Structure 1
Amino acid sequence: MNQKTLVIGASLKENRYSNRAIKKLKATNIDVVAIGLKKGTVANVSIDTEKKMYENVHTVTLYLNPKRQEEYYNYIISLKPNRVIFNPGTENMEFLKLLKENNIKSEIACTLVLLATNQY
């Protein structure tokens, strides 16, 4: 089952966890779309700089600090993903509550660890 994933906070810098996550998701044959501050490509995935209405997004994985997430609340909820993953450093109780109110699952976890342990 392909769990199309939107990476928010995508980086072109190879040492960033969002960059590694895109590569690992692609290596696991998961469709990936990404939003970041700079346009570019990572593992043949185009990084967009604007919020697009992607279809059939199963998972949103966050690489943004809680303050930067605020502008994405309504956008992410409008995509109606099955779940949102809060990677280390992105934990946000306010957004977790909003997701729950909108019947969207959330988990505080590391995308890379979930992939490495076949729990994604």
Structure 2
Amino acid sequence: MGKTLIMGASLQPSRYSYIALKRLRMYGESVVAFGKHKGRVADVVVEDQLIRYTDIDTVTLYLRPEVQKEFYDYILSLKPNRVIFNPGTENESFYELLEANKIRHEVACTLVLLSTKRY
């Protein structure tokens, strides 16, 4: 099974991306993370440089739409099975790009998906 990539991972415990990372690990998901600052959350290193992963199943976004643009090509190059747009990250332009590349997208909250066993 592939990994989940958290785009916009934060090192601050009050942020949803931080909580999602910890919860994903608690549920046994394999996680990698990219954020503004390099650090560690639980047993996951948050990278501040883009890494060319080959086994990403899901990208879960915690980046505002205007920030997402600089990562379109990177995310598309990973060929994930799906991209989750968490609250506040909704982006019609990116949906169209994903659809054109046959990548599923979901407007949902990673935390809710986990708690309802629909992740």
| Residue pairs, 1:73-88, within 5 angstroms | 73-88=72-87
Give the structure 1 partner of residue 38 of structure 2: 39
| Residue pairs, 1:56-95, within 5 angstroms | 56-95=55-94
**Percent sequence identity over aligned pairs:** 55
**In the TM superposition, what is the alpha-carbon distance from 1:3 to its structure 2 partner?**
4.4
Give the structure 2 partner of residue 51 of structure 1: 50
Q: Give the aligned CA root-mean-square deviation in angstroms.
A: 0.7
**In the TM superposition, what is the alpha-carbon distance from 1:51 to its structure 2 partner?**
1.0
Stretches of 4+ aligned residues off by more than 6 angstroms: none
Q: Which runs of 5+ in 1 are unaligned?
A: none
| Residue pairs, 1:96-115, within 5 angstroms | 96-115=95-114
- Deviations 1:7-29, CA, capped at 9 Å, x for gaps: 00000000000000000000011
Count of residue pairs the alignment pairs up: 119
- Does 2:24 match 1:25? yes
- Residue type of the partner of 1:91? E
Q: Which runs of 5+ in 2 are unaligned?
A: none
- TM-score (norm: length of structure 1): 0.97
Q: Distance in 2 between matches of 1:99 and 1:24?
A: 26
Query: Residue 33 of structure 1 aligns to a residue in which SS?
Result: strand
